[in-house]
Amino acid sequence: MARRGDPPEGTPEGLPGGEDEYRSVVFDESFVQAARVQEFSAEERMGEHAPAVRSLPAAGMRRASKQILLFVLLVAVAFGTAVYLGIRQPHQPGAVRPAEQLRITLVPLAPRGPVPGGTPAELFADSPAAQYRSGAAGITMPAVRRTAHFSEGQVLTALATAKDFLVESSLDPDVLTGGAVRPVRALLHPDQLAQFDRSVASPAADGRHATTGWLVRFDPAKVALADDTVRVEGTLIVTETASEALEITSDHTFVYALRPAATTGPASDEASLFTVRREMRFRFDRDDLRHHRLEALAGSVHAGPQDCGSDATGFLRPLLAGQRAGTDGPAVTDPYAPGPATASLCGTLSSAAQPSP
């Protein structure tokens, strides 16, 4: 009978069988404890096979780090230099030049005889102003062309600003007899505001501080508008004086129909004409064009009928229907007298400029 663990057919022939064959191979406890188990490293396991990626030598790594650091340093220096130059030397079209003061010339025109009177329609129809346009339509724009350094749009802006100044300072009823000055002041360069304010507050015949050099103004206590329509004729001329500036010269004649104010007595329907020949010179730099403002450089006003001796620095002082000029001529100026010199100018109003009596 076969033992437990033997094949059913028994031990095959020719093969060692049974436990007796292995009894001579015995591992005692001391042999097992003395046995050493060795685990090979990854490099040892790879044997002679070359690694797929080789490590960069330490010296090469140091050179690459220095090159990267040098590149970063150069970029930082270049950026810092650009920022510094941008702060120290910003791009500007040119140095900012302070605005000049307005130079003013006032010339009263005295009539040869009594001032003709009538209705505004009759007076206008019988005067050279019969063909003039009414109001702002009389301030016509010239053909707009670019200049060497200013675009067509910039030239148009300068012309529009000059026209706005003439409309506000010569046609606005609130300015003419109402005492308003803000519409005119708002169009001036900031550097000229102090001169303008002094001219309004303390008019003087010094060629710099006459209110009537800046705007047309009548004393509302003595004069009223007989007709709100003002007849206008004139020209605007554009010139480029430098690469940074445009100048516009305006030459316009304004004709007003006036009557005595009600405060002087019963209001009279009889009107008279008052003529103002106004020549102005304006300057615009690029900053002025951006801010819709101007520099008023020179103003020449020939206005009549007035007395030669009348003080027209604060208000124009018209002679109304039926009035005559005084016998006094221009004020006498003593060239030896100390103090600022004053210009004493006066002209005679041409009879052709007045309606027939």
SS3 content of the chain, % helix, strand, coil (to 5): 30, 20, 45
Residues 26 and 24: their CA atoms lie apart, in Å, by 6
Are 120 and 271 in contact, with CB atoms under 8 Å apart? yes
Conformational region of residue 10, where left means phi above 0, alpha means psi within -120 to 50, and beta covers everything else: left
Residues of the chain predicted below pLDDT 70 = 1-64, 82-96, 263-268, 327-344, 351-353, 356-357
Note the maximum CA span of the chain: 175
Residue 195: per-residue pLDDT: 98
pLDDT of res. 93:
47
Q: What is the mean pLDDT of the chain?
A: 82
| 8 A C-beta contact, residue 317 and residue 110 | no
- The C-alpha R_g of the chain, in whole angstroms, comes to 51
Helix (H) or strand (E) holding 69: helix 58-88
Provide the pLDDT for residue 90: 45
Identify which of 248, 227, 199, 17 has the alpha carbon closest to the alpha carbon of residue 135. Answer: 227
- CA-CA distance, 65 to 344, in Å (whole number)? 87
Which residues on neighbouring strands pair with residue 285, listed in sequence order?
245
d(CA 224, CA 218): 8
Q: What's the full length of the chain, in residues?
A: 357
115 by Cβ neighbours in 10 Å (0-12 / 13-18 / 19+) ranks as buried
For residue 312, what pLDDT is reported?
Answer: 93
DSSP H helices, 208-327, are 211-214, 286-291
pLDDT digits (tens, 9 = 90+) for 186-222: 999 999 999 999 999 999 999 999 999 999 999 999 9
- Cβ within 8 Å of residue 320, ≥6 positions away: 115, 117, 223, 258, 259, 260, 272
Tell me the whole-structure pTM to 2 decimals: 0.70
